[in-house]
Chain A
Amino acid sequence: MSTPFYVSPQQAMADRAEYARKGIARGRSLVVIQYADGIVFVGENPSRALHKFSEIYDRIGFAAAGKYNEYENLRIGGVRYADLRGYTYDRDDVTARGLANVYAQTLGTIFSSAGEKPYEVELVVAEVGATPDGDQIYRLPHDGSIVDEHGSVAVGGNAEQISSYLDQRHQEGMSLAEALKLAVQALSRDTNGTEREIPAERLEVAVLDRTRPQSRKFKRIVGRQLGRLLEIDGAATEAESSDEE
């Protein structure tokens, strides 16, 4: 048996972070944006069945970039956590903050335990409030840190560039159509600055819509409704954009 080389903790962590980041960067980025009536999730996803966004609980949605099997596992863990908590206490006691903490602990433990390979995922947990002030968006990078975001957030390989694009253009109180268009523009810019077209069939879009009468606010936007929203002019009125079903 050969003697193992000494690797400093700093170096070991940097290597693990590098590994996770590279894994995440292989996938496409996605964005989560606040708009007047809620929060919209937009990403490029050629698959109809393997979702990047999903419902966790009444007002809480989940978005993930990176390795599918790993974030799917975390997603189901989150659904189980939320459902058990709601069953034990009350539906109101399930919060995005609580869920984000659990994810952060989970990712953090995996990241720093030498026996496990770090997860190659970056998550967003969002909760829609009764008013825009009550909206919460948490970004959870692979190492278990939590970032409390406002307005807009991007995760995935090209996230930094997309984020800065969004930060410059995002405004409070945008309509759904405006927010969706901004998201698509941000996603269609490649690293080298060139633009490409993302057809509607390759887009996965979901919203947490606070105006829905049901207690479950998560809804996927597909087919004709998506087409309609993409066609609406940027200066469209609220009424047109908050088109139901």
Chain B
Amino acid sequence: MEANTRSTGRLPAAFLTPGSSSFMDFLSEHQPEMLPGKRQLPPTQGVIEAPHGTTIVAVTFPGGVVLAGDRRATMGNVIAQRDIEKVFPADEYSAVGIAGTAGLAVEMVKLFQLELEHFEKVEGAQLSLEGKANRLSTMIRSNLGMAMQGLAVVPLFAGFDVDRDRGRIFSYDVTGGRSEEHHYAATGSGSVFARGAMKKLFRNDLSEEEATTLVVQALYDAADDDSATGGPDVARRIYPIVTVITEDGFRRLTDEESSEIARSILARRLEQPDGPRAALL
């Protein structure tokens, strides 16, 4: 079977059989061993050590949603990578940020992007945002076996719902359980601290600029209290990845833009290390 996709022979029957618009369904029939969830796992003792991505945050604002992530990957107490990318466009109107086992998560994102693109090409129409969120659930569920061995992948999915004309956020647990989050959400080891920061800073009428600043503030607070989350690295010029999804589609802030936000926050934190204060009453 495999040879057929590598040589330039005739398309195998499976390619020309009318069927599902899902690439994953096609793969599971044609080449199931290519799917991450169908892999045979060797018996292992204890927890497998692999780089972990840490904190992802998202916040909605009128007209869209912002999804951002820090750049650190850790393996135990070691920093495995300082400039990892953990936020990816899923398609034109959605993005996914991943915390958990980095290698598996990146692979899952790649398959998820392909799944959405494949559907779009075959059907000539995009999936609904809800449909995309559900598809991601299925993929996490198929990783449950590995999650049980400590190789969990916990994404945060954000997108602009063109039918409802607003940004939406979906969070997941390791079993694929999905829940829609209102206003803001965070996942990963630094998420508790990031969530606390966002809880105090969030308002219903944020502008796009304020929302992008808010997520960087939250990531700073996460890095402040969680050793696995990386703060803005001024010396190496490594700044958080910030993405914005609006009616106009997905946009990733350039390095200059995110460095500007990070630097202005850093400057203020030199004066006030705990960051902006919310009113007591």
How many residues of A sit at the interface, in one of the four size bands? 20 to 34
Q: Which of A44-101 contact B (CB under 8 A)?
A: 49, 51, 54-56, 73-74, 76-81, 83-88, 98, 101
Please, which residue of chain A has its CB at the minimum distance from the CB of B248? A245
Contact of A87 among B11, B114, B121, B122 (CB under 8 A): B114
Q: Which residues of B contact A83 (CB under 8 A)?
A: 23, 114, 117-118
Determine if A54 and B8 form an interchain contact, defined as CB atoms under 8 angstroms apart: no
With A73-B16, A84-B5 in contact, do A56 and B121 touch (Cβ < 8 Å)?
yes
Q: Does B272 contact A (CB under 8 A)?
A: no
Q: Does B268 contact A (CB under 8 A)?
A: no
Q: Does B42 contact A (CB under 8 A)?
A: no
Contact of B124 among A54, A78, A86, A216 (CB under 8 A): A54
A22 to chain B, nearest CB (A): 23
Q: What's the A-B contact tally at a CB cutoff of 8 Å?
A: 66
Please, which residue of chain A has its CB at the minimum distance from the CB of B2? A88
B119 to chain A, nearest CB (A): 10
Determine if B110 and A74 form an interchain contact, defined as CB atoms under 8 angstroms apart: no
Name, among A55, A84, A102, the residue most crowded by chain B CB atoms within 10 Å (CB to CB). Answer: A84
Please, which residue of chain A has its CB at the minimum distance from the CB of B124? A51
Complex Cα–Cα for A147 and B53 (A): 49
Q: Does B202 contact A (CB under 8 A)?
A: no
With A73-B18, A79-B121, A85-B5 in contact, do A102 and B27 touch (Cβ < 8 Å)?
no
Q: Which residues of B contact A85 (CB under 8 A)?
A: 5
Complex Cα–Cα for A32 and B31 (A): 35
Complex Cα–Cα for A108 and B8 (A): 13
Contact of B15 among A80, A86, A108 (CB under 8 A): A80
Determine if B121 and A106 form an interchain contact, defined as CB atoms under 8 angstroms apart: no
Complex Cα–Cα for A54 and B30 (A): 24
Please, which residue of chain A has its CB at the minimum distance from the CB of B120? A55
Majority DSSP secondary structure for residues of B touching A: helix
A208 to chain B, nearest CB (A): 14
Complex Cα–Cα for A78 and B16 (A): 9
Q: Does A211 contact B (CB under 8 A)?
A: no
B44 to chain A, nearest CB (A): 26
Complex Cα–Cα for A78 and B110 (A): 20
Contact of B10 among A76, A86, A98, A106 (CB under 8 A): A106
Complex Cα–Cα for A84 and B1 (A): 13
A84 to chain B, nearest CB (A): 6
Please, which residue of chain B has its CB at the minimum distance from the CB of A51? B124
Q: Which residues of B contact A74 (CB under 8 A)?
A: 11, 16
Q: Does B9 contact A (CB under 8 A)?
A: yes
Determine if B34 and A87 form an interchain contact, defined as CB atoms under 8 angstroms apart: yes
B172 to chain A, nearest CB (A): 22
Please, which residue of chain B has its CB at the minimum distance from the CB of A84? B5
A85 to chain B, nearest CB (A): 6
Determine if B121 and A54 form an interchain contact, defined as CB atoms under 8 angstroms apart: yes
Contact of B9 among A54, A79, A105 (CB under 8 A): A105
Determine if B34 and A88 form an interchain contact, defined as CB atoms under 8 angstroms apart: yes
| CB 8 Å contact bits of B20-36 with A (1 = contact, 0 = none) | 00010011001100100
Q: Which residues of B contact A80 (CB under 8 A)?
A: 15, 23, 26, 118
Q: Does A164 contact B (CB under 8 A)?
A: no
| CB 8 Å contact bits of A222-239 with B (1 = contact, 0 = none) | 000000000000000000
Q: Does A191 contact B (CB under 8 A)?
A: no
9 A-B pairs (CB sep. < 8 Å)? A79-B121, A80-B26, A87-B23, A87-B114, A88-B5, A88-B34, A102-B10, A109-B10, A214-B92
